[in-house]
């Protein structure tokens, strides 16, 4: 479904004990920055937070899709977290979020950014996909679910 480097097993967290929206964004920033030579957790976190200030990226049904444009990368980059319990995320439906996919795209990637967001929103809009993601036992299983057509 996505390019091979968009989401990898090393950028997936599962069953994490996270108690706040801020900590969830920090965790996603850590995953996105890990192993990337031009990214720092602090810069990624700040970009995700800037976007979140414009309006919640909580899609409803326990899903959040934080995203940002960032000049330090040349290709889109994703990270996924499933929390042990839902957290208050100011989602449109008021439901707590337990599944979050963070997306970084290059600053100039307007069309690609929108296409990726639409594909992710489509993936998460399916109740069966959401249920499978919540039942997956580990990062490998989550990756397979995220990377299917």
The stretch 6-29 carries a mean pLDDT of 95
Asked if residue 142 is part of any domain, the answer here is yes
Domain span at 115:
9-146
Whether 69 maps to a domain, the answer reads: yes
CATH number at residue 62: 3.40.930.10
Residue 88, in any domain of the structure:
yes
**122-140, pLDDT tens digit by residue?**
999 999 999 999 999 999 9
Instruction: Please state, in angstroms and rounded to a whole number, the distance separating the CA atoms of residues 81 and 15.
Output: 8
Mean pLDDT of the 19-31 span: 97
Can you give the pTM of this predicted structure?
A: 0.93
Judge whether 137 lies within some domain: yes
* pLDDT higher than 90, residue 1: no
CA torsion sign for 56, 60, 61, 64 is negative
- What total number of domains does the chain contain? 1
Residue 85 has pLDDT above 60, yes or no: yes
- Answer whether residue 121 is part of any domain: yes
Residues with a known catalytic role: 67
Residue 3 domain flag: no
Q: Are strands 63-64 and 58-60 parallel, antiparallel or unpaired?
A: antiparallel
Does residue 51 belong to any structural domain of this protein?
A: yes
Averaged pLDDT, 79-99:
95
Residue-level pLDDT at 108: 84
Q: Check residue 126 and give its pLDDT.
A: 94
Among residues 45, 47, 54, which one has the least CA distance to residue 22? 45
> What's the pLDDT tens digit per position in 109-118?
777 778 888 8
Residue 140 belongs to some domain of the structure? yes
């Amino acid at each position: 479904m996505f390019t091979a480097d968009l989401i990898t097993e090393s950028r997936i967290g599962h069953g994490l004990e996270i108690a706040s929206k801020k900590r969830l964004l920090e965790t996603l920033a850590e995953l996105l920055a890990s192993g990337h030579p031009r990214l720092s957790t602090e810069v990624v976190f700040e970009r995700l937070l800037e976007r979140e200030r414009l309006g919640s990226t909580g899609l409803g049904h326990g899903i959040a899709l934080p995203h940002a444009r960032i000049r330090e990368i040349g290709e889109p980059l994703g990270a996924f977290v499933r929390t042990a319990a839902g957290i208050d995320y100011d989602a449109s439906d008021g439901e707590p979020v337990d599944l979050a996919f963070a997306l970084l795209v290059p600053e100039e990637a307007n069309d690609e950014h929108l296409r990726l967001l639409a594909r992710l929103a489509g993936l998460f809009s399916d109740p069966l996909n959401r249920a499978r993601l919540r039942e997956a036992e580990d990062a490998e299983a989550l990756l397979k679910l995220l990377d299917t057509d």
